[in-house]
Amino acid sequence: MSERVGFIGLGIMGRGMARNLLRAGFDLCVWNRTAAKMEEFAKAGARTAADPADLAAQSDIIITCVSDTPDVEEVLLGERGVIHGAQPGALVIDTSTISPQATKVMAARLAERGIHMLDAPISGGSEGAEQGTLSIMVGGDAEQVARAMPVFRAIGKTITHVGGHGAGQMVKLVNQILVVVTMLGISEALVFAQAGGLDLEKTLQAVSGGAAGSWMLTHRAPQVIRRDWRPGFTIDLQQKDLRLVLEAADQLGVPALGTGLVFNLYRVLQRAGLGHEGNHALVKALERLAGITVGER
């Protein structure tokens, strides 16, 4: 018999994941701070819990999908947190992107009560969550990763066990460094191309297939040219993740020249009230510096 699953956090990402778990036939219990978001799932056959401890008492595997480190600490270790309801042997899977260091500390606290933990941050956006095609970077013990596989397969496509506790979070931060510095290059290239009077569509056509190519160039540069700022991932969320990168880099004692630069450019945009736009709006910070608008004829 498959294990009972509890799901905490029915936001943009969590909602899609929880739907896919129901669809895959899991016995599901849900909890969300704003109770109204649970109704849809109750109607679809899920149980609902009064709080995280109550949810944990009814679940073998507990998945968390919340915003930031303090949110995970609250739902796991707070007054009515998972730790107060979970049975020894239960498994917590945290799919939030949070501090690798805090993840290790929480895994140790849970282990004292015989509760297992995996960090399993996801990437692929809300579409990936809806379609069950997320990439999942997993840190923790191999045995628990194997146990979690049926759950992972219901919500994701590329599942990589990358190391021990916290390693999933570290790899997610590596992912974010790559995404934003690549976007810096794209932004700088587009401002340069615009200033030089190039046809931007032909320019992209000429360079996208070669050594200059990237996922962000293929998917986000055309959006920039159309000045379509709808978010695949918002600047506000990106900043939350870059804060984690810079904090971890500081703890590790390594410089982060590119990421630090992008963080400060995004800060300019947040200050201008653009935090809700997609992370490809980074180009707007360079446009301000250059006094140029990409895509303008």
Active site residues: 172
C-alpha to C-alpha distance for 93 and 100, rounded to whole angstroms: 14
C-alpha to C-alpha distance for 183 and 162, rounded to whole angstroms: 25
Among 24, 77, 181, 268, which residue sits at the site for a second copy (rule: CB under 8 A)?
181
Closest approach of a second copy to the CB of residue 192, in Å: 6
77 contributes a contact to a second copy by CB under 8 A: no
End-to-end CA distance of the chain: 63
Q: Please give the single-letter amino acid code of residue 89.
A: G
Distances (CA, A) of 230 to 16, 41, 275, 277, 281: 19, 27, 11, 6, 9
The neighbouring-strand residues paired with 62 are: 6, 92
Among 142, 174, 227, 293, which residue sits at the site for a second copy (rule: CB under 8 A)?
174
Mask for 220-249, x = binds a second copy (CB under 8 A):
------------xx-----------x--xx
Q: Which stretch binds a second copy (CB under 8 A): 9-17, 72-80, 86-94, 216-224?
A: 216-224
C-alpha to C-alpha distance for 151 and 269, rounded to whole angstroms: 38
Q: Pick out residues in 136-155 that bind a second copy (CB under 8 A).
A: 137
Q: Pick out residues in 152-171 that bind a second copy (CB under 8 A).
A: 158, 160-163, 167, 170-171
Least Cα distance to 32 among 67, 84, 70, 69 occurs for: 67
In the complex with a second copy, which residue's Cβ is closer, 52 or 128?
Answer: 128
Q: 23: exposed, middle or buried (C-beta count within 10 Å: 0-12, 13-18, 19+)?
A: exposed
297 contributes a contact to a second copy by CB under 8 A: no
177 contributes a contact to a second copy by CB under 8 A: yes
Q: Which residues bind a second copy (CB under 8 A)?
A: 100, 123-124, 135, 137, 158, 160-163, 167, 170-171, 173-182, 184-186, 188-189, 191-193, 195-199, 202-203, 205-207, 209-217, 219, 232-233, 245, 248-249, 252-259, 261, 286, 289-290, 292
